[in-house]
Each structure stands twice: as C-alpha cells, then as structure tokens.
Amino acid sequence: MGNNTIGVQNNAVGVFALNSNIDGAANTAAGDSAYFDNVDGSFNTVVGWAAGGLVEGSDNIYIGATAGLPGGGSESDTIRIGDPLVVLDCYIAGITGATTAAGVPVLVDGTGKLGTLPSSKRFKTDIKPMDKASEVLFALNPVTFRYKKEIDAKGIPQFGLVAEEVEKVNPNLVARDRDNKVQAVRYEAVNAMLLNEFLKEHRTVQDLKATAEKQQTTIALQESQIKALTASLREQATQIQKVSAQLETIRPTPQVVENR
C-alpha cells in the first residue's frame, strides 16, 4: 500500500499487496502482489499470490493464486475462484445430497461462468412459436456410451447424444469451450423441442379423435335411419300382404260353361 493516500479501512498482507491503491477503501488483500494494480476500487476481497492482478474494480472476490479476470481489465461485482488456466477440477462440499425444492438448474459456459437460465418473458426478445424448428430432432442419433477412463474410471454406462453429430444437424444445439470447440449438447433446448413435438403430436391425436367421434355420430345416425327405413319397409310389406289377402277374398269365382 505504498501509494495509498486517502484510502481508508484497507487491509493488506503480503509484499506489494494493494501496492497501487490510492483512494480505494474497505479492501482486503492477502498474498504477495494481491490486487497489485487496483487504484480506486473498493470493497474487494482478494486472497492468493498475485490474485486480482491487472484488475481495477469494486465488490470483487478473488480466491487462489493468480485468480482474477483473465488478461486483466475493469470488472466489478464478480466472484472468481482459481485460475482457469491452472485449475482443472473443482470439488465443493455441501452440494451433493443437499435438496432445494424451489431450485433451478445451474449451467456453466465455456469460460467457467456459472448461472441459471431464466424463463421469464422480461428477459426475452423475438419470441415466436417453435413450429417446425423442432423437427430437427428426427435427424438426431441417440447412443449409449462410456466416458474415457480419465474422465470416469468406473465406466458407468451413459445415454445421450454426440455433440459433433448434433452440430451437423443444428449448431444452435451445442455449447462450446473457451477455444470455440464443440463441448456439450444443450439438452435443455432439446427438451424444449421434444415438448413442442409432443404437443404437435397430441394435437394431431386430438384432431383424429374428434374426427373419429364425428364419424361415429354419423354412423350411429345412419344406423338409426337404416333401422327406421327397415321398419317402414317391413310395415309396408305387411300392408301389402293384408291387401293381397283381401283381394283374394273378393275375387269372383270363375264359372265354367258346358258346351253341348
């Protein structure tokens, strides 16, 4: 803190920690050269050798050697743990087995940023029906597989899709890493497409059901009409038989004339 002038309530532990701070306040930096380049940022907590280097901003939390904004720059209101170029795996206790009934899935992008995927209308633009866009699902090829041993030593059977194959069908259904290489399938988008196809199929079934019900009603009406016509024909046949019988009773008996 050799350059500090009016900054107050700062805590620096380590050689060159908060070295460039002039008027930033309420910062805590622990570790040699921790938050070395901050000038007037305040309320930062930085722990680790050279953590937060080349960064200027406020309300940041950086933990781990060289943790911070890659390449440096201005940043505020951000938490970063570890250097993404060094740290390759992450284990956090208290998550596995813990339940939150009202929670939402947490996603991670190719840079390691964590977040949720909001569904509220206030976050969206260009909203329109999915329509036939979901028909790309019929070109996908579900597979079974096992991850390589360096990823999953137990070789647990997995079920899903191959991201490179999905990319050929629709590039919007894959996620990429920091090097822009295909990394994963956006299954949340696939699920939305599955719902759209299910609803389309459901509407088709409902239409077919309605058509069948109309046909059944028509058939029932026709059967009723046929029964009525049959009954009428039978009644007419009975009347004809009665008339025929009456005619037989009144028909004159033919007389025979004897020739002599």
pLDDT of residue 253: 66
What is the residue-level pLDDT of the chain in tens, covering all 260 positions? 767 778 899 999 999 999 999 999 999 999 999 999 999 999 999 999 999 999 999 999 999 999 999 999 999 999 999 999 999 999 999 998 888 888 899 999 988 999 999 999 999 999 999 999 999 999 999 999 999 999 999 999 999 999 999 999 999 999 999 899 999 999 999 999 999 999 999 999 999 999 999 999 999 999 999 999 999 999 999 999 988 888 888 877 666 666 66
Q: pTM to 2 decimals?
A: 0.75
Domain boundaries, the chain: 1-83, 123-218
| CATH T-level topology, domain 123-218 | Arc Repressor Mutant, subunit A (1.10.10)
**Rounded alpha-carbon distances, angstroms, from residue 147 to 154, 182, 185:** 9, 16, 15
What's phi and psi for 115, nearest 5 deg?
180, 175
Rg of the chain's alpha carbons, rounded to an integer?
A: 42
- Residues shown for the chain: 260
Indicate the burial class of 17 (C-beta count within 10 angstroms; 0-12, 13-18, 19 or more): buried
Which residues, including other chains, have CB under 8 Å from residue 183's CB and lie 6 or more apart? 110, 163, 174, 175, 176, 177
Q: Alpha-carbon distance 199 to 28, whole Å?
A: 55
Position 6 scores a pLDDT of 82
